[in-house]
């Protein structure tokens, strides 16, 4: 049994099942500029901020010998697709219950996401349970330096909560997000996405992290939390 100083939660692919929707939006946007994206490339985009992903996709388009669009032109295609899809994002199994368990134990929580404020509003509209988490660290937070995989998002969350990052549990799914939490000194729990090939897990994720198949593995135990991950 452990009582972390706080639990810091990613959003996409961890609390909400949005990663396939983001992937579809980037796939359709890149295809509009004649550059199909592979599954491996879509995995690289996970957990990162929108503008960083836009620049990465532009580089892939240019490397294919196709005149790349500007970032604004690419996002003008990608964002409407994403907004349409993300309105229907579902909660990941066990996510609302885990947030409620933290509240029952009076363990502070924060949302640490690369999403912008506008994107979060679209995704969270049907999920009032997300409002229990504060503070919220967004990809466009004016106090945020570098985004994931840099440690800045988790360090900022810990600072706003008034706790040491090393005393926090971080929950992530993407390699970029997990590396961000680890660099901040958090105890990292990784929900391994179903679409990550098993032979790639060891390459993408550190063996020292706690691996989870479901958020239901994190349980209340006495005055703290435990996991069989």
Residues with active-site annotation: 10, 12
Looking at residue 144, the DSSP 8-state letter turns out to be: -
Residue 190 near residue 174, CB atoms below 8 Å = no
CA dihedral angle for residue 93, residue 28, residue 72, residue 148, rounded to 10 degrees: 30
Token pair of 176 as six digits: 């970029």
For residue 77, give Cα distances in angstroms to 34, 49, 91, 125: 13, 17, 26, 23
Q: At how many degrees (to 10) do helices 175-184 and 152-161 cross? A: 50
Gap between the Cα atoms of 42 and 44, Å rounded: 5
Running DSSP on this structure, what letter comes out for residue 33? T
Nearest alpha-carbon partner for 42 in 68, 13, 2, 71:
13
Residue 169 C-beta-side C-alpha neighbours within 13 Å: 22
Q: Assess contact for 35 and 64: CB atoms under 8 A.
A: yes
């Amino acid at each position: 049994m452990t009582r972390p100083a706080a639990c810091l939660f990613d959003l996409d692919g961890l609390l909400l099942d949005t990663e396939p929707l983001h992937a579809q939006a980037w796939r359709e946007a890149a295809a509009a500029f004649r550059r199909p994206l592979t599954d491996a490339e879509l995995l690289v985009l996970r957990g990162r901020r929108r503008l960083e992903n836009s620049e990465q996709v532009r580089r892939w388009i240019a490397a294919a010998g196709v005149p790349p669009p500007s970032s604004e032109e690419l996002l003008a295609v990608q964002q409407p697709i994403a907004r349409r899809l993300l309105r229907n994002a579902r909660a990941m199994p066990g996510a609302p219950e885990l947030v409620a368990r933290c509240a029952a134990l009076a363990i502070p929580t924060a949302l640490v996401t690369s999403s912008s404020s506008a994107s979060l509003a679209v995704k969270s509209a049907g999920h009032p349970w997300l409002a229990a988490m504060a503070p919220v660290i967004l990809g466009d937070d004016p106090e945020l330096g570098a985004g994931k995989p840099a440690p800045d998002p988790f360090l900022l969350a810990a600072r706003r909560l008034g706790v040491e990052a090393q005393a926090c549990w971080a929950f992530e799914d993407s390699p970029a997000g997990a590396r961000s939490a680890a660099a901040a000194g958090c105890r990292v729990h990784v929900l391994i996405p179903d679409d990550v090939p098993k032979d790639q897990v060891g390459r993408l994720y550190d063996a020292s992290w706690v691996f989870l198949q479901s958020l239901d593995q994190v349980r209340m135990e006495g005055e703290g939390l435990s996991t069989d991950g």
